Amino acid sequence: MRTMEDCMEMDTIMTMSEDFDGTKHIFRLNVSGKKIGFRVSNEYPIPEACFPPILKARAFKAIHNYISDFFGNTVVYQWIAKSYRFFIPQLPNLSLFVSMFVHPLENTEVLETFFASYPEMKHIHIQWDELQLISPESKFYQAESIRITQYRSPTVHAFLRNFKGRQATLCDCECGFVELIKFMNRWRSGEGSRELEYLKIMTRSFSTNLNGVLNANWVKHIDAAKKPPTHSLTDLSTPEPDLKPNTDPIISHTYIVRESDNRVASISVKGWNFIFGVWKETEEEFLRMVE
């Protein structure tokens, strides 16, 4: 567990196990009105909560309530799931990081129900070729960070139009000049991607030369003899605060400006990669950083 924004330290105070073996010196404690078994672990120098699988939801809720009563609302709980089909508790202040390898024939309603059940997802890593089936109003698009692989061309435009989070990486996808021009135009006009901080698109191939997006008449250019500032942010896809890397740096002479607030986004096209990074600075403040 960890406290919220002002504290980035993590301390392990307890482990949990579904191995409820009564021969291992289990003692019971009252936790928020529920009796839960504990034992001294041979593997960890901390208590281990033990419970049968059928009671795990109740056990997690009781422990969560106890910790919340003790620490108050300053605690954020991180849950890292390797599949959307695994058990994930529904608890307040739960930061969910989930990996999703979705079968091609998966029922979309199953996914929509999952996304609706966890509206405060921090990061989703999803592998699925049918993302165009997800509703534009889905909570999927509200995750803070999303990484997508095995992506098809029909869904690139839908994702770029509907994503409301902060960071996204699209891997092994198909994307072209037109999709990117539309995306940048929406961002520039303030019609979409208002919260976006960072976007990276890595493609299989381009049917057109994407350097053309840098030549749109509303794209601005820094003098080639000057050194532009480096755009880099904390990568939201990593749950451990001490291990969080930064996003790939963007050092680009090209940028666009959002009309509504004069904020800047740097644009980089290298080979088959398109990277888009939004600055908190206005254009005037951004240009002062140019060397």
Picking from 52, 75, 98, the residue at the C-terminal end of a domain is: 75
**In this structure, what token pair is assigned to residue 247?**
């996003």
Is residue 36 within 8 Å of 62, Cβ to Cβ? yes
Structure confidence at residue 178 (pLDDT): 85
126 and 13 inside one domain = no
156 and 271 inside one domain = yes
Structure confidence at residue 85 (pLDDT): 85
Picking from 29, 44, 75, the residue at the C-terminal end of a domain is: 75
Structure confidence at residue 131 (pLDDT): 82
Could you say which DSSP state residue 35 is in?
A: E
**Angstrom distance (rounded) from CA 195 to CA 189:** 14
Residues of the chain short of pLDDT 70, as ranges, are 1-14, 16-24, 41, 150-155, 205-209, 241-244
240 and 113 inside one domain = yes
82 and 216 inside one domain = yes
- Rg over CA atoms, the chain: 23
Structure confidence at residue 22 (pLDDT): 53
For β-strands 2-3 and 75-81, DSSP reports them as antiparallel
200 and 92 inside one domain = yes
Sheet strands (E) in the chain: 2-3, 15-17, 27-31, 34-40, 47-50, 75-81, 94-101, 121-127, 145-149, 167-173, 198-203, 220-221, 254-257, 263-270, 273-282
Structure confidence at residue 231 (pLDDT): 97
Structure confidence at residue 216 (pLDDT): 86
**In this structure, what token pair is assigned to residue 207?**
């049917």
119 and 47 inside one domain = no
Structure confidence at residue 3 (pLDDT): 31
161 and 243 inside one domain = yes
Query: How would you class 184 by CB atoms within 10 Å of its CB: exposed for 0-12, middle for 13-18, buried for 19 or more?
Result: buried
Picking from 35, 59, 75, the residue at the C-terminal end of a domain is: 75
Q: Which residues contact 92 (CB under 8 A, 6 or more apart)?
A: 64, 68
Q: Could you give the number of structural domains in the chain?
A: 2
**Order of strands, sheet of 273-282, starting from the edge strand that comes earlier in the sequence:** 2-3, 75-81, 94-101, 121-127, 145-149, 167-173, 198-203, 273-282, 263-270, 254-257, 220-221
46 and 140 inside one domain = no
200 and 80 inside one domain = yes
Q: Which domain holds residue 29?
A: 1-75
177 and 52 inside one domain = no
44 and 100 inside one domain = no
